[in-house]
């Protein structure tokens, strides 16, 4: 049996105990809270690959609200999915991790029932994970037209003092352009044509984005965001979680933006179709 399944069983009444040191973990400063919770998330995700049991203890055993619609609620659902993984098949490489208050969000390269790129969001209460959201997309077989993958690019977190300003900028961009279609405002959010793009089908530069959207429109394929559900950020990175449509599909959009000097400079995204409600394995909803 996978070691992490045993870790999950710690909280499923099978008599295993959590280490005393883990139970007594405390945080003395705001800065240490930020770093510790990030590390908990990175360690928990890596445990999917390694089978380490200790990171499962970062999850609240009495409350783990699951928003991945293919997984049942609680630790039991988490454990059940892991049990179906082919032995030694999982690989996890978390490239970026950020914290915004009680939320930690991570950008990860997976082999999880096949190669995928994902964003995960975890909410903490009293140092324990109590809620999880994610978005997953199959890893493309080749880089995008400008040679970028869905995971490479800048990783350094800067401008912590500008977090709220950058979140407002990015929210306004998504509201104006992607929700309300005010394309006349598009250039206001960018430094000329400079724009690094990691979407697997779109080249760099603002003109590359415009040309791609125009080509799709000519084919009768439109991308429309209907609602923003979350805006999370740390420093120069901002993640926006939205709901909308790409062509005929009802989708969840996770967009990560890097801001530089008050302009959007770089973009990563993961787009996942929303499973029809009759196939949901929990009742918590995608968002």
pLDDT for 149 equals: 98
What are φ and ψ of residue 89, in 5° steps? -90, -25
Quick one: 128 and 220 in the same domain?
no
CA neighbor of 205 nearest in space, from 140, 144, 270 = 144
pLDDT for 20 equals: 37
Joined together, the tokens standing for residue 88 give 């030694």
Query: Does the pLDDT value for residue 17 go beyond 80?
Result: no
Quick check: 41 and 97 in contact, CB under 8 A?
yes
Structural domain count of the chain: 2
Residue 145, domain member (yes or no): no
Residue 284, domain member (yes or no): no
Quick one: 216 and 116 in the same domain?
no
Residue 152, domain member (yes or no): no
Compute the distance between CA of residue 184 and CA of residue 164 in angstroms, rounded to an integer. Answer: 25
Quick one: 193 and 236 in the same domain?
yes
Quick one: 64 and 107 in the same domain?
yes
Domain interval for residue 33: 3-139
Last residue of a domain, one of 110, 139, 168: 139
Q: Which of 16-25, 40-49, 51-60 comes out lowest in average pLDDT? A: 16-25
Last residue of a domain, one of 85, 107, 139: 139
Q: What is the mean pLDDT of residues 92-105?
A: 98
pLDDT for 214 equals: 85
Q: What is the mean pLDDT of residues 77-98?
A: 95
Compute the distance between CA of residue 6 and CA of residue 116 in angstroms, rounded to an integer. Answer: 25
Name the residue with higher pLDDT: 2 or 105: 105
Quick check: 41 and 104 in contact, CB under 8 A?
yes
Joined together, the tokens standing for residue 132 give 């999880």
* 168 CB-near residues (< 8 Å, 6+ apart): none
pLDDT for 217 equals: 82
pLDDT digits (tens, 9 = 90+) for 216-263: 888 888 889 999 999 999 999 999 999 999 988 999 999 999 999 999
Residue 244, domain member (yes or no): yes
- In whole angstroms, how far apart are CA 74 and each of 9, 77, 136, 242? 12, 6, 20, 24
Residue 135, domain member (yes or no): yes
3-class DSSP state for residue 13?
Answer: coil
Residue 131, domain member (yes or no): yes
Quick one: 173 and 133 in the same domain?
no
Quick one: 37 and 67 in the same domain?
yes
Residue 150, domain member (yes or no): no
Quick one: 63 and 15 in the same domain?
yes
Q: Which CATH number fits the domain that encloses residue 215? A: 3.10.450.50
Compute the distance between CA of residue 265 and CA of residue 194 in angstroms, rounded to an integer. Answer: 7
Cite the DSSP H helix spans in the chain. Answer: 3-9, 20-23, 30-50, 74-83, 163-173, 206-218
Residue 16, domain member (yes or no): yes
Compute the distance between CA of residue 207 and CA of residue 205 in angstroms, rounded to an integer. Answer: 5
pLDDT for 67 equals: 98
Look at the pTM and tell me if it is higher than 0.85: yes
Last residue of a domain, one of 109, 139, 169: 139
Quick one: 168 and 112 in the same domain?
no
Name the residue with higher pLDDT: 281 or 15: 281
pLDDT for 134 equals: 98
Quick one: 181 and 117 in the same domain?
no
Compute the distance between CA of residue 194 and CA of residue 187 in angstroms, rounded to an integer. Answer: 10
Quick one: 169 and 255 in the same domain?
yes
Quick one: 135 and 169 in the same domain?
no
């Amino acid at each position: 049996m996978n070691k992490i399944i045993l870790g999950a069983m710690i909280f499923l009444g099978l008599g295993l105990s959590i280490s005393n040191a883990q139970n007594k973990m405390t945080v003395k400063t705001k800065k240490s809270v930020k770093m510790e919770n990030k590390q908990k998330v990175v360690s928990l995700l890596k445990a999917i690959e390694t089978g380490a049991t200790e990171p499962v203890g970062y999850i609240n055993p009495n409350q783990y609200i699951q928003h991945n619609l293919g997984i049942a609620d609680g630790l039991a659902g988490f454990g059940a999915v892991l049990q179906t993984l082919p032995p030694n098949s999982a690989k996890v490489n978390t490239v970026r991790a950020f914290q915004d208050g009680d939320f930690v969000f991570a950008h990860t390269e997976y082999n999880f029932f096949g190669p995928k790129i994902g964003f995960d969001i975890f909410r903490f209460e009293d140092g324990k994970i109590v809620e999880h959201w994610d978005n997953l997309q199959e890893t493309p077989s080749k880089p995008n037209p400008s040679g970028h993958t869905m995971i490479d690019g800048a990783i350094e977190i800067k401008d912590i003092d500008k977090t709220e300003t950058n979140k407002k900028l990015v929210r306004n961009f998504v509201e104006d352009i992607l929700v309300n279609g005010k394309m006349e405002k598009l250039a206001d959010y960018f430094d000329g044509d400079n724009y690094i793009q990691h979407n697997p089908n779109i080249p760099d530069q603002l003109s590359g984005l415009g040309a791609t959207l125009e080509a799709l429109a000519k084919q009768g394929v439109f991308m429309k965001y209907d609602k923003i559900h979350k805006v999370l950020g740390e420093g120069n990175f901002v993640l926006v979680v939205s709901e909308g449509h790409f062509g005929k599909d009802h989708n969840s959009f996770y967009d990560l933006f890097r801001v530089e000097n008050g302009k959007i400079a770089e973009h990563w995204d993961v787009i996942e179709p929303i499973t029809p409600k009759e196939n949901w394995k929990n009742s918590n909803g995608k968002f």
